[in-house]
Amino acid sequence: MNKISIQNLNLWYNDFQALHNVNLEIEENNITAFIGPSGCGKSTLLKTLNRMNDLIEGCRVEGKILLDNVNVYKDMDVNLLRKRVGMVFQKPNPFPMSIYDNVAFGLRTHGIKKKSELDNIIEKSLRDAAIWDEVKDRLKKSALGLSGGQQQRLCIARALAISPDVLLMDEPTSALDPISTNKIEDLVLELRKNYTIVIVTHNMQQATRISDHTAFFLLGEVVEYSRTTALFSIPQDKRTEDYITGRFG
Amino acid sequence: MSIRNRFDEQLEVLNSHLIELGTFIEQIISLATMALIELDPTLVEKVIEVDNEIDLKEKEIETLCMKLLLRQQPVASDLRLISSALKMITDMERIGDQSHDIAKISTFLNDKEYVKQITKIPQMAEATIKMVTDSVNAFVMRDLDLALSVIEYDSVVDGLFGEVRRELIHLIKTENDKGELALDLLMISKYFERIGDHAENIAGWVAYAITGEHKDA
């Protein structure tokens, strides 16, 4: 089943067209990877999925993005959209507050104030993000004291706390060492059971390891979109072949 | 030099190793055939030597392929090329073993005159040599048509095997004391027929490396 349907999407930053007629169907409970050289539009597309581009001046979008068949640009409140579509960024960005308050932040924003309820959701989120055992004795300590990998998992816990349907990840491991990367990848595979995940990655091996589908972007266009194993073994487009085998880019 | 260029260079090295292994294979099939026709034990020694060379070359290519897989983590056509090379060398090594077996059986034969009459066996040898040479060339030149022609050509070897078999049945029927000779020659021709199958497999892997699709053997 398709969770997200992107239809004839065009996007401009002022006069510059960053996305050209993108059509993609993103399956539910799947991991979809976006790959492509820098500046090809993959992060731009990721951001349109929860309308983060609304914050950028001069950004104009045409076309449709449907989340469970509802047009997110027309028929959905942006706050609700961002609750349903969470985001994890390239660099871990914990708030300068305690571990507990980081995860509680979104929950409080959405009106959950009761301590016992907060405690429960925070523990579950930290467990789901595979970091609970490492932080359970220091929940009131600053999140900034965690390692990079722990901070990233905390950010994932923070995103999970508000029970999104979709998790967008923009190069979530590019700033991490191999061990932390492994942990995040294991976690993403685990989260796949309950969430639809879209991940932008420059690490092709990561895309092959964890994703079900891969879309290859070039100059704002989707050149090829297919099952990851097919795309990396028998790419149909020469440009995909040239990019993934390192002949350009 | 860029990483990609270095990788391309190593793929060239892989090509030249495969050409060398292909040359050894052509050599060993010829030597085994000569050992059979001449019933010459010194040629059997040579077959054993070349078979050892083939085993060493197979290991060398295998190590190179593993190194390329490890260091380059290839994808797409690069991945298919290297995984096909790994499969091809297994078939090539088996051809070496079977040529060795042919040479060994030839030491038991004692009827030089009759062996010379079975002209279809040297023809099988020629046909399999052509198949191996064409397969390796198809790999190096990425020539799909050539690979497909090798797959087709296996029927020639199969046809020759059928003819040898009929000749040997005739031999058993007409000359009671030639039963053992006929069986040995049947085994030899069966080995050649199997060599043809291995050559066909090799061509099948070449076609896979080029297209990503397996041709049904």
**Alpha-carbon gap, residue A90 to A155, rounded angstroms:** 11
Chain-centroid distance of CA B159 in Å reads 18
Q: Which domains does chain A have, with CATH numbers?
A: 2-92+165-244 (3.40.50.300)
Burial code (b: 16+ CB inside 10 Å, e: under 16) for B188-205 equals bbbbbbbbbbbbbbbbbb
Please give the Cα distance from A197 to A31 (Å, whole number): 5
A153 touches A183 (CB < 8 A)? yes
ipTM surpassing 0.90, yes or no?
A: no
Sign of CA dihedral A124, A128, A129, A133: positive
Distance between CA atoms of residues A201 and B38, nearest Å: 65
Residue A171: name the closest of A131, A198, A144 by CA: A198
- pTM here is 0.83
Distance, in Å, from the CA atom of A34 to the CA atom of A42, rounded to the nearest integer, reads 6
A204 neighbourhood in chain B, CB within 8 Å: 73, 75
Residue type, A43: S
- Is B78's CB within 8 Å of A234's CB? no
* Beta carbons of B74 and A245 less than 8 Å apart: yes
**Domain boundaries, given as residue ranges, for chain B:** 3-211
Per-residue pLDDT at A249 exceeds 60: no
A128/A59 Cα distance (integer angstroms): 35
Provide residues of B within 8 Å CB-CB of chain A: 3-4, 7, 73-80, 212-213
Distance CA B6, CA B8 (A): 5
Residue A30 tokens, joined: 């799947």
B76 and A247 in contact by Cβ < 8 A? Answer: no
Q: In sequence order, what are the beta bridge partners of A226?
A: A214
CATH code matching the domain that covers B3-211, chosen among 2.30.30.60, 3.10.20.30, 3.40.190.80, 1.20.58.220:
1.20.58.220
In angstroms, how far apart are the furthest CA atoms of chain A? 57
CA-based nearest distance A215→chain B, Å: 15
pLDDT tens across the length of chain B (217 residues): 788 888 999 999 999 999 999 999 999 999 999 999 888 889 999 999 999 999 999 999 999 999 999 888 899 999 999 999 999 999 999 999 999 999 999 998 878 888 888 889 999 999 999 999 999 899 989 999 999 999 999 999 999 999 999 999 999 999 988 899 999 999 999 999 999 999 999 999 999 999 999 876 5
- The single-letter code of the amino acid at B176 is N
φ, ψ for residue A223 (rounded to 5)? -80, -40
Task: Give residue B216's pLDDT.
Answer: 64
Query: Out of B3, B4, B76, whose CB is closest to A232?
Result: B76
The token duo for B20 is 């060398």
d(CA A149, CA A154): 9
